[in-house]
A and B are shown apart, each in its own frame.
Chain A
Amino acid sequence: MTEFILRRMVFSAVVLVVISILIFVMMRLIPGSPAVVAYGADVTKEQIQEFEHNHGLDQPVPLQYLRWISGVMLRGDFGKSFVTDRPISPEVAHAFSVTLELVVWGFGLTIGLAVPLGIISATRSGGLLDHVSRLFAVVGVSVPGFWLGLMLIVYGAVRLRWFPAGGIVPPSQGLFQHLWSLLLPALSLGIYYMAIISRMMRSTLLEALSQDYVRTARAMGLSPRRVLVYALKNALIPVVSVSAMAIGFMFGSAIVIEQVFDIGGISHSLLSAIFQRDYNTVQAVVLIITAIFVLSNMIADILYGCLNPKISFVRQR
């Protein structure tokens, strides 16, 4: 067991190191000096030299990488923006906290709706709600979340005026209003995994309920509720694992959702940095999102391995 966890962690660490190298090299391979971006097309040779010296770009690339990555690892310092010349970390940290709130909301909403839906669907298999939730599972994975967001704005905010149109109400104007304005983005962000998790909850619970131990428990006269709790314990294992994966996924798709709802999170940092060719910020944001993705997948794997008694760790291959 410990060996499995360790091996999985080492793999993730290696992946992160390789990814950081890849991002860094990718950004250095872009033709043209970032000085041209910072000063405009009529930049002089001296300005380029001075700019590259200030940002350490006149050093060999491996050295630049080591400097950068040690700053990131030791001090959480992602360097300075090529465009604004300000340190990147505080701005990215702020943007990240905005996105984190959205993801937490979206994740809570996803689990809060999908798990009960899946359970009801499985326990009343064949009923009306089961059909509705299965339809939802098909539609939910197919409808792009950001389009759902656009349509929710058109109907929920512009037509019905139930929600504020565009942007998030700051918490200073009332906590309820703030959370209410996050509801539509959270829903758009969560729809995909809501569908996946409700479908998965349904199928794993149905499978668990058909097992022998459930039949035995029923035959011994346990109440349906107790039986359900037993079955749920096993049925939840893959669901927990996929939920961990959902967090990493949500940080990725938040990029598009935030754009729709005009939320100033990492999406804004990433896209404005891309269009301003501010590569230092691009590599910071991409590294952070990728790291979250890799870590959430790692946690998903470890959870699955630890929770599932059927998986043995006696020398795989």
Chain B
Amino acid sequence: MNQSDIAGALPAPLGQRCSTAFFRLVGTPLGAVATIVVVAVTTLALLAPLIAPYDPVGISLDQKLLPPSLHHLMGTDQAGRDVFSRVLWGGRISLSISVLAAAIGVFCGVVLGVLAGFYGGSLLDHLIMRFMDFLASIPLLVWAIAMVGAIGVGPVNLGVVSIGNEGKIILLVGFLYTPSIARVAYGAALVEAQADYVRARRVQGAGSLTLMFDEILPNCLSPLIVQATIYISIGIVVEASLSFVGLGVQPPTASWGAMLSDAFNYVLSGEWWLPFFPGLAISISVIGINLLGDALRDLLDPRGQAGRVIV
């Protein structure tokens, strides 16, 4: 049996499957709407330096607390900063924190989950998965608050690198995401590890690492993509909550949560635009990402391997 004989029995290359999946995604109404919202939000955040009409941290005290107008689409805040510009720049921070936290969660979760699944039933499997069960049973938001609170909001110096508060949130939240990603990866890897194509590659002399991450992992991706999408949307809310209670992004840096924290002082005096627009940005992004998650679930994970997510 040579390479071309087995090629027909193998799934299509990953790149090709991804592009097919993308076209099927935007082919459904739900998927199309979700994709448009997510692409729009991401583009606005990425292009903030080009689009934002004002400096997000530029203080002008003669312009403070102005309601929305043509000059300031979303009004100005207590320091005369343009809320629209801050929402755009804040999106960069909020979205990068949530995307990077999800990335860390996926990376750690995949490594641990695939490892445990590949050696299913072994001591390593039990050690990893019991630890994951443990981590999964602690409430994310409370522990994120407690852990940031314990470390303190100032930068942490680790020799050459200094980790700011954004970095701490990313690492901690990513760490707390790990167990449920690991469970999903584990479930998929456990099944795939017994598949014929894996045995075939093993007989051909492929090493364990190759089998795990070259062969098994690409075939476990579907539920993982769905799970990662959901975690990005949760990350936005977690960042907002942490910043709102003063343990997240610190002033004067704009993030959606930090803006809501500032706005809190003006809720009773009726400056509605201060809390309204950052929260609207959060809601639109989260709705978009959640819909994308739903559409991806219908498409990639109809059996529902990716679990429900509880913050």
> Judging by beta carbons under 8 Å apart, are A256 and B245 in contact?
yes
What residues on B are CB-neighbors of A274 within 8 Å? 145-146, 149-150, 247
B260 on the A face (CB < 8 A) = yes
Give min CB distance, B309 to chain A, whole Å: 10
Q: Which 5 pairs of residues, A with B, have the shortest CB-CB distance? A: A274-B149, A147-B279, A142-B286, A142-B287, A293-B139
B97 on the A face (CB < 8 A) = no
Q: Which residue of A lies closest to B146 (CB)?
A: A286
> Judging by beta carbons under 8 Å apart, are A138 and B290 in contact?
yes
> Judging by beta carbons under 8 Å apart, are B279 and A144 in contact?
yes
* Stretch of B7-15, B18-26, B101-109, B130-138 on the interface side: B130-138
> Judging by beta carbons under 8 Å apart, are B150 and A282 in contact?
yes
> Judging by beta carbons under 8 Å apart, are A147 and B141 in contact?
no
Give min CB distance, A251 to chain B, whole Å: 8
Tally of contact residues, B, Cβ under 8 A: 42
Given contacts A138-B290, A158-B270, A290-B142, 4 further A-B contacts (CB under 8 A): A151-B276, A159-B270, A290-B143, A294-B137
Q: Please, what's the 1-or-0 string for A269-306, where 1 marks a CB less than 8 Å from any CB in chain B? A: 01100110001001000100110011001000000000
Q: Which residue of A lies closest to B268 (CB)?
A: A165
Known: A26-B150, A165-B268, A290-B139. A271 touches B283 (CB 8 A): no
Known: A147-B275, A248-B139. A270 touches B145 (CB 8 A): yes
| Residue in A150, A154, A158, A253 whose beta carbon sits within 8 Å of that of B141 in the complex | A253
What residues on A are CB-neighbors of B137 within 8 Å? 12, 15, 293-294, 297
| Residue in B233, B246, B282 whose beta carbon sits within 8 Å of that of A147 in the complex | B282
> Judging by beta carbons under 8 Å apart, are A147 and B283 in contact?
yes
Known: A153-B267, A252-B139. A146 touches B145 (CB 8 A): no
Ordered by A's residue number, 22 sampled pairs between the chains whose C-beta atoms are within 8 Å are: A15-B134, A15-B137, A26-B146, A26-B147, A26-B150, A29-B150, A138-B291, A139-B287, A142-B233, A142-B283, A143-B283, A143-B287, A144-B279, A154-B270, A245-B310, A251-B139, A252-B142, A253-B241, A253-B311, A259-B244, A289-B142, A293-B139
Bound complex: CA A188 to CA B112 (Å): 37
Bound complex: CA A140 to CA B147 (Å): 28
Bound complex: CA A82 to CA B64 (Å): 41
B263 on the A face (CB < 8 A) = yes
A128 on the B face (CB < 8 A) = no
Q: Which residue of A lies closest to B284 (CB)?
A: A142
B185 on the A face (CB < 8 A) = no
A11 on the B face (CB < 8 A) = yes
What residues on B are CB-neighbors of A144 within 8 Å? 237, 240-241, 279, 282-283, 286
B54 on the A face (CB < 8 A) = no
A83 on the B face (CB < 8 A) = no
Please indicate which of the listed interface residues A138, A139, A286 has the most CB atoms of chain B within 10 Å of its own CB.
A286
Give min CB distance, B145 to chain A, whole Å: 7
> Judging by beta carbons under 8 Å apart, are B245 and A271 in contact?
yes
B272 on the A face (CB < 8 A) = yes
Bound complex: CA A271 to CA B287 (Å): 29
A255 on the B face (CB < 8 A) = yes
| Residue in B134, B146, B269, B276 whose beta carbon sits within 8 Å of that of A18 in the complex | B134
B264 on the A face (CB < 8 A) = yes
| Residue in B133, B151, B245, B282 whose beta carbon sits within 8 Å of that of A259 in the complex | B245
Bound complex: CA A229 to CA B143 (Å): 41
Among B282-307, those with CB < 8 Å from A are: 282-283, 286-287, 290-291
What residues on A are CB-neighbors of B268 within 8 Å? 153, 158, 165-166
A260 on the B face (CB < 8 A) = yes
Among A53-87, those with CB < 8 Å from B are: none
Bound complex: CA A151 to CA B310 (Å): 24
Give min CB distance, B124 to chain A, whole Å: 17
Bound complex: CA A165 to CA B266 (Å): 12
What residues on A are CB-neighbors of B272 within 8 Å? 151, 154-155, 159
